[in-house]
Structure 1
Amino acid sequence: MTTITLEAATQMIAATTAYGVEHGLKPLSVIVLDAGGHPIAFARANDTSPARYAIAHGKAYGAVMMGMSGTTLNTMAKERPEFITALNTALGGTVVPVQGGVLVKGADGKVIGAMGVTGDTSENDADAGQAGVIAAGFTPEI
């Protein structure tokens, strides 16, 4: 099974933040988690708030723990808020069910981790994360 190396995580973060700069997004904070939800790498742009780590982590953690994108989790939050509340309780209040939680899949289509992006609109965060995952040679699910 493919895993995300520190080098690949760093490449994903660099490409994600570069996308943000190229598209005029607000400063981004980005985290990459492995398939078990453990942080591999995190970076934040200058002048971002300290809360951005927790938000990025929550987006990625929810995605990898459930095996579904932040977009899907956001839809579930709207359609089944009681489930997302229960999920968040079970996971210690760490899930942020919005776009910007990007699943990372290997060549075989299996989930190998997730990226959490925050700083701009959730839609723009997801687009930036998608670009970062692709740049590292993996398949994103936003």
Structure 2
Amino acid sequence: MYRLRPLLVAAVVFAGSTIAASAQQPAAPSPPPTTPYGSPISLDAAKKAMAAAEAEAMKNNWPMAIVILDSTGHPVMLHRLDNTQYGSIRVAEDKAQTALDFRRPSKVFEDLVAQGGIGMRTLGLRGATPIEGGFPIIVDGKIIGAIGASGGTAPQDGQVAKAGADAAAAK
């Protein structure tokens, strides 16, 4: 019996440390970005972003609604490609608003929800749409607007919106 005692103690310690390690919470999310808001996006820059986003959608034959907001949250452009469901218009606008209000791509919130646990709090954030497809438009280190796309799968929406955001940011 005395020979088994050290082995039993070691097994209990190992089991306890394994349970404690698995019960730890995931790392806290990073603090919010501090990218400042700038002057509202110009119509020319919005047209450039829209053209790139639309080209990405059409190249892949994806029906999309694409919305561009200025830095104050007001719509500058909206395109609904042929055969895109009407509901995608509102979703695209909500994704753009999420990216603008929270200064980050809407996919960040989708990823937090997918992690579960503390990330589920994201569902309670007023005005946050936790679905990929919204990007802030950043030029010269300032947010001048945001773009949202909806109508395909979440990754397709993200690909289209990113194409637009990247085009607007290009010099």
- Structure-1-length-normalised TM-score: 0.81
Structure 1 letter corresponding to 2:81: A
What is the alpha-carbon root mean square deviation over aligned residues?
A: 1.7
Question: Which digits, 9 at most, give the CA deviation of each residue in 1:22-65, with x for residues without a partner?
Answer: 2x242111001112221111111011111111100111111111
- Is 1:26 matched up with 2:62? yes
Task: Tell me the residue number matched to 1:118.
Answer: 150
Higher RCO (CA 8 Å, separation ≥ 6 residues)? 1
Paired with 2:139 and 2:166, the residues of 1 have a C-alpha distance of 11
Q: Once the 2 structures are TM-superposed, how far is the Cα of residue 2 of structure 1 from its aligned partner?
A: 4.8
The answer to which of 98-107 and 5-14 deviates more is 5-14
Q: Say if 2:140 is the partner of 1:104.
A: no
1:71-110 deviation per Cα after TM superposition (whole angstroms, max 9, x unaligned): 212122334222x23213xx3xxx3211111111111x22
1:25/1:120 contact within 8 Å kept: no
Find the aligned partners of 2:99 and 2:108 in 1 and give their Cα distance: 9
Equivalent residue for 2:120? Answer: 81
- Work out whether residues 16 and 129 of structure 1, in 8 Å CA contact, stay in contact via their aligned partners in 2: yes
Corresponding position of 1:130: 162
Structure 2 segments unaligned to the other structure (5+ residues): 1-37
Structure 1 residue 45 corresponds to structure 2 residue 84: no
1:11 counterpart = 2:48: yes
Identity percentage of aligned residues: 28
Contact 1:103/1:111 (8 A) holds in 2? yes
Mapped partners of 1:132, 1:85: distance in 2: 27
Aligned residues: 130
Separation in structure 1 between the aligned mates of residue 113 and residue 65 of structure 2, nearest angstrom:
23
Classify the secondary structure of the residue corresponding to 1:8. Answer: helix
Which ranges of 4 or more aligned residues in structure 1 deviate by more than 4 Å? none
